[in-house]
Structure 1
């Protein structure tokens, strides 16, 4: 027999008991349970952090930076707008408190880019001046009013239009001067937008009534031709609709029922 045809693997000796794979399954199960535990712990830490900051949670990706946000640049300390149009670091907030009104910004995604604009409570957009200071004095969005959130290794920094990172200087002023992001430039963008998931988000509007009769009427209204201005709903027994809903064939059965009424523009 050719050597290449010989089946490789661990050698088996006569009389040797085959080891059970039970321990592997138990080990796998234990690993999965450990993973679930880690996820629960992480979720708990996120909830505690959010509670600590008065309901403001940390944005961890570009899509989350929208609407009302604040920029935490130190523990419980946020970038704060001054009436002069400049920005500074606000006083640390007590645990359980969110940012002050002057520390809340409005974030808007710049279309077809990975950048955002930031508007202060004075209704002015943030930009950088020729000296690298961050200011809020613009009435419209231009190139200088665009900021790019950079996420890396669990940290985040804002890159300005001048190719520098937003940070805080020794005097506590918000500037955009550093070519690299360090401790003075690391920030956390927080949002208070509700993250509750709509349980009906993936359910068509026509099927949110719950009852099969309401669902059928909604689809008839959607597809029926109203040349004679009369709503034509199949009045036959709807037991088949209930069965079809459980079986996942509701749309097919409703189409057959509408076809009988000869009023559906998508039926034969």
Structure 2
């Protein structure tokens, strides 16, 4: 018989169901994690380059202190005491916007926002298409609509024209079509939820020696009301904290002390003797009183 022509298939047992679930390969998963990590690192670098002012990517983020960056260079919209606006001076890497370049974002509803200058005047567009800050309240002319497309953003004014610069570096809104020269970045220095420092539990405040004592007080009880602190030093706790396994190390040290929690010291003839007292070895006399054990120790 010619076995070379036999169709060989995997062995399938009776009642066995074939799994159709597809698993993402380890390589692809690693690439995804690497991509997310590099994206987060890139955002952190961008924020640091602009003095801690981060890139707003949604309308709801455009509240509080804001700055309008013109293009990719560290140049911001700058308010003048005349009520007009111009392009500010370029900033060095790591510097944030100047006080006269800081605006205040106010939600205006209907996917729009209002911007107030440091002179407490709202930004709007006049009849000549100039961006001016002379209004004391928010009206139709003082509303701006952020337009997002392909990761970039432009600001649309009430006259349906986009914010940009003219030949004299004055801030205007005169072009109905957004080009590369109309791309802006709204930056904020508000503390985001992801940037808030994690609250340190009360037990973990202070030195490592105090931290261990706090956790011993919290989780362990001794019948003689005395604390039992591990005597091995805190060198291993220091390395555990650096590795992010401080709680595991503290638990391990407490478990060692818990195994010896029934030791008690008794004096006999001026000399201290230690006797391990086991709960299972308790004995009571005829009157319900604990009988003395053997040696220098006694049963509880």
| 1:143 maps to which of 140, 144, 151 | 140
1:176-255 paired onto structure 2 within 5 Å: 176-197=173-194
Indicate the residue corresponding to 2:8 in structure 1: 15
Alignment of 1:72 with 2:69, yes or no, is yes
- 4+ long deviations beyond 4 Å: none
Indicate the residue corresponding to 2:123 in structure 1: 126
Q: TM-score, normalised by structure 2?
A: 0.58
User: What is the RMSD of the two structures over their aligned residues, measured on CA atoms?
Assistant: 2.1
Q: Deviations over 1:21-46 (max 9, x none)?
A: 9xx85x62211110110000000000
Structure 1 Cα separation of the partners of residues 91 and 136 of structure 2: 30
Q: Number of paired residues?
A: 183
SS at match of 1:55: coil
Shift of 1:17: 5.9
Structure 2 Cα separation of the partners of residues 15 and 120 of structure 1: 78
Structure 1 Cα separation of the partners of residues 93 and 157 of structure 2: 31
| 2:114 maps to which of 108, 117, 136 | 117
Shift of 1:143: 0.2
Structure 1 Cα separation of the partners of residues 197 and 97 of structure 2: 30
Alignment of 1:58 with 2:51, yes or no, is no
SS at match of 2:182: coil
Structure 1 Cα separation of the partners of residues 176 and 7 of structure 2: 70
Structure 2 Cα separation of the partners of residues 163 and 52 of structure 1: 33
Structure 2 Cα separation of the partners of residues 189 and 92 of structure 1: 16
Indicate the residue corresponding to 1:100 in structure 2: 98
Shift of 1:196: 3.0
SS at match of 1:77: coil
Shift of 1:15: 2.4
Q: Which structure has the bigger radius of gyration?
A: 2
Alignment of 1:48 with 2:51, yes or no, is no
Shift of 1:171: 1.0
| 1:90 maps to which of 73, 88, 93 | 88
Shift of 1:199: 9.3
Whether the 8 Å CA contact 1:169–1:184 is kept in 2: the answer is no
Structure 2 Cα separation of the partners of residues 172 and 183 of structure 1: 16
Provide structure 2 residue ranges, at least 5 long, that are not aligned to the other structure: 1-5, 12-18, 199-300
Structure 2 Cα separation of the partners of residues 59 and 141 of structure 1: 22
SS at match of 1:163: coil
Provide structure 1 residue ranges, at least 5 long, that are not aligned to the other structure: 1-12, 201-268
SS at match of 1:34: helix
Q: TM-score, normalised by structure 1?
A: 0.65
